[in-house]
């Protein structure tokens, strides 16, 4: 029985995701997150190089800081002041099961996909679930019309 082709990050990634620039005002960036209805965005330079991620949680740092409530707070605070510079990324050939394991291990909601250091997309948890569903649908007709027997060497018999 042959398995359906294993999907990769390239197959399940979103390529039309919103990106932010490091010099963008944090208040504007929050507006972008809300308008796009996303929980975070990659931060890139004009060439597409990934510089970090700005998540909802990163934005909460603004409200949680005491300086927000003092006159010293500047409306000119920018994305670079709040983004997470250290972020996990994967290559486009990363297999779907490894991506799922990475989500499970890290608790991340999105993982940037980089090719030659340039952002080409993002994989989300929902994207992994949609990919698994696609793979299941591709395999289902084969299960219905083929007999399946376990390989003899995989059966363990107790004496």
pTM of the complete model? 0.75
CA distance 44 to 52: 7
pLDDT at residue 151 in the model = 46
Interval 110-137: pLDDT, tens: 999 999 989 999 999 999 999 999 888 8
Q: Is the pLDDT of residue 36 over 80?
A: yes
- Enter the tokens of residue 114: 């980089």
Determine contact, residues 113/121, Cβ cutoff 8 Å.
Answer: yes
Residue 11's SS3 state is helix
Residues 6+ apart with CB under 8 A from 111: 9, 88, 89, 90, 99, 102, 103, 122, 123
pLDDT at residue 27 in the model = 87
Structure-model confidence comparison of residues 61 and 66, the more confident one: 61
Domain map (residue ranges) of the chain: 9-145
- Work out the pLDDT band at 145, boundaries 50, 70, 90: very low
Interval 70-88: pLDDT, tens: 665 566 688 999 999 988 8
The CA dihedral of 89, 94, 97, 101, to the nearest 10 degrees, is -20
- Enter the tokens of residue 93: 């050939």
117, 123, 121, 124: which is closest to 50 by C-alpha?
Answer: 117
CA distance 30 to 80: 13
Residues 6+ apart with CB under 8 A from 12: 96, 99, 123, 127, 128, 130, 131
Topology of domain 9-145, CATH: CBS-domain (3.10.580)
């Amino acid at each position: 029985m042959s398995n359906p082709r294993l999907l990769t990050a390239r197959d399940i990634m979103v390529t039309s995701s919103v990106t932010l620039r490091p010099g963008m005002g944090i208040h504007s960036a929050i507006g972008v997150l809300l308008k796009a209805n996303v929980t975070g965005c990659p931060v890139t330079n004009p060439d597409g190089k990934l510089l970090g991620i700005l998540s909802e949680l990163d934005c909460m740092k603004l409200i949680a800081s005491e300086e927000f409530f003092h006159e010293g707070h500047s409306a000119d605070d920018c994305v670079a002041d709040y983004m997470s510079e250290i972020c996990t990324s994967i290559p486009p050939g990363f297999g779907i099961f490894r991506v799922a394991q990475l989500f499970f291990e890290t608790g991340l909601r999105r993982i940037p996909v980089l090719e030659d250091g340039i952002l080409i997309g993002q994989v989300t948890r929902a994207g992994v679930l949609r990919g698994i569903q696609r793979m299941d649908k591709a395999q289902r007709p084969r299960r219905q019309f083929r007999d399946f027997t376990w390989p003899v060497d995989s059966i363990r018999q107790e004496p």
